[in-house]
Amino acid sequence: MATEVLLPKQGNSVESCIITSWKVAPGDVVKTGDPIVEVETDKTTMEVESTADGVLLKQLAAEGDEVPVMSPIAIIGEPGEAVADEAPSDADAAAGDDESPAPTAPQADRGAIARTTGSGTATPRARRRGGARISPRARKLAETLGVDSSGLSGSGPGGRIMARDVQEAADSAHAPAGVAPSGAARSADASSGGGAGPAQVATEERVGGVRKLIASRMHESLASTAQLTMDASADARGLLAYRAKLKAARSEALQKVSINDLVLFATSRAVAAFPQVNATYANGTITRYSGVDLGFAVDTPKGLMVPVIRGADSLSLVEIAEAAHALAERCVAGTIDADSLSGGTFTVTNLGAFGIERFTPVLNAPQVAILGVCSITHRAAPDGSGTIPMIGLSLTVDHQVVDGAPGARFLRSVVDRLADFELTLAG
């Protein structure tokens, strides 16, 4: 009997994947556990394994297609077994329309405490609008942006309405009247301006694949949250002095500890002391956590990834450094798994190496706070005795959940812990 292979869930936050390459063709023999296709999310690349022994009878998605998780992507059966010519119906992919649990329980087994601020009523497993299915993320975004999705054309499999469809509808609704499409005005007479004319188009690139997924997530974060950023600076003399001690140590593990690792350690302790920022907000529910699963941004050839250090507040400095280095290496190599990229309760993003002195971090929703780390610059000492090194910090919070004063107190705590790092380490 033919067996459908479903695109498995890739953590709570992944709604769909892009089919990048098939490793087997129709007619090939496969066994349970054999990789049959490679897929990509906005976070990582992974292989999907066969869930049955037999022959690949049919591929249900082409390379480049974006497919909702828990939807059928292949059929495996006996040689010569007949399969339907058409792709699975919406009913076949009902599992992909389940209202996935809000990603608010990465610490459930460590004492997560939920505070419900909404009605507490259950959301239906699936809804239809205008006869078409709409994904959970698209539904939430439509409600946030006030978009009527009943008339939208879905770009997902089977006409399924995706978050990008809602975002494009919102962007179109707010575009100024009379604005020409990109490149439409480039045929204007160059002589009319009295100069050499407008710049010539070098390249035009259609945004798609992982870049489009990342763009959609970033836009959705800004559209669905009330982001407030505040800046501060910490005396970096203690950090630099302790880093110098580590570099002179005989232990190779200590020598490898970076300034960023010191910041991650101090931040994990500060987050543990401020439950207001160690939280997620989704579907009208604020969930606060008793432990810190600390995400940190990593720049990779495929774009930004945010791996998570589990239980960072209970790890030593060396343990945090080793975990961060290992996770970053896997991100760059493209071998990171989806579970390592999901479930964080707070995120740190560091642009200090690029000389950035201030910036506005974008929330890693559904988290309610993110700390940006900036470069170390020399500033005049308060007593006029010269200059001292200061490290810049930029905190963004979701003002729906975190008020200004608690956010400022948390940021002050990070400043103090960095300024007296050895005391933080001892504490």
In this predicted model, what pLDDT tens digit does every residue of 105-126 receive, in sequence order? 444 444 444 444 333 333 333 3
**361 shares a domain with 272:** yes
**58 shares a domain with 42:** yes
Domain termination site, one of 25, 60, 82: 82
**136 shares a domain with 61:** no
**353 shares a domain with 246:** yes
| Percent of the chain whose pLDDT exceeds 70 | 80
| Alpha helices (H) in 69-224, listed in sequence order | 136-145, 163-174, 209-224
* pLDDT reported for residue 11: 63
From first CA to last CA, the distance across the chain in angstroms is 62
Average pLDDT over residues 237-251: 93
Lookup result for tokens 């995706």: 162
Look up residue 120 and give its amino acid: G
* pLDDT reported for residue 298: 94
| Number of domains into which the chain is organized | 3
* pLDDT reported for residue 177: 52
* Residue 271 resides in a domain: yes
Domain termination site, one of 82, 99, 117: 82
In this predicted model, what pLDDT tens digit does every residue of 178-201 receive, in sequence order? 444 444 444 444 444 555 678 888
The token pair at 356 is 């950035």
* Residue 365 resides in a domain: yes
Lookup result for tokens 């959301």: 123
* Residue 191 resides in a domain: no
Residue 35, H or E segment: strand 35-40
* Residue 143 resides in a domain: yes
* Residue 133 resides in a domain: yes
**162 shares a domain with 33:** no
**Which range marks the domain in which residue 298 is found?**
226-426
**236 shares a domain with 169:** no
**374 shares a domain with 355:** yes
* pLDDT reported for residue 108: 41
Instruction: Let me know if 313 is a catalytic residue.
Output: no
Which one of 34, 231, 299, 399 is the catalytic residue? Answer: 399
In this predicted model, what pLDDT tens digit does every residue of 163-178 receive, in sequence order? 778 888 887 776 555 4
CATH number at residue 47: 2.40.50.100
Say yes or no to pLDDT of 393 above 60: yes
Show Cβ contacts of residue 317 under 8 Å, excluding neighbours closer than 6 positions: 257, 261, 262, 265, 425
- Sign of the CA dihedral running 146, 148, 152, 155: positive
Q: Which of 296, 354, 290 is nearest to 328 (CA)?
A: 296
Instruction: Let me know if 399 is a catalytic residue.
Output: yes
CA atoms within 13 A on the CB side of 215: 11
Question: Does the model's pTM come out above 0.75?
Answer: no
Encode burial over 324-350: b for 16+ CB neighbours within 10 A, e otherwise.
beebbebbeeeebebebbbbbbbbbbb
Domain termination site, one of 49, 82, 115: 82
* Residue 45 resides in a domain: yes
Say yes or no to pLDDT of 299 above 70: yes
The token pair at 125 is 């497993």
* pLDDT reported for residue 130: 38
Say yes or no to pLDDT of 390 above 90: yes
CATH number at residue 219: 4.10.320.10
**389 shares a domain with 259:** yes
* Residue 121 resides in a domain: no
**146 shares a domain with 56:** no
In this predicted model, what pLDDT tens digit does every residue of 2-42 receive, in sequence order? 899 999 886 656 778 888 889 999 999 999 999 999 888 76
**413 shares a domain with 269:** yes
* Residue 296 resides in a domain: yes
Q: How confident is the model at residue 272 (pLDDT cuts 50, 70, 90)?
A: very high
CATH number at residue 358: 3.30.559.10
The answer, yes or no, to whether the previous bond of 406 is cis (omega within 30 of 0) is no
Which one of 219, 403, 416, 420 is the catalytic residue? Answer: 403
Report CA-CA distances (Å) from 37 to 7, 66, 289, 335, 424.
10, 13, 37, 15, 47
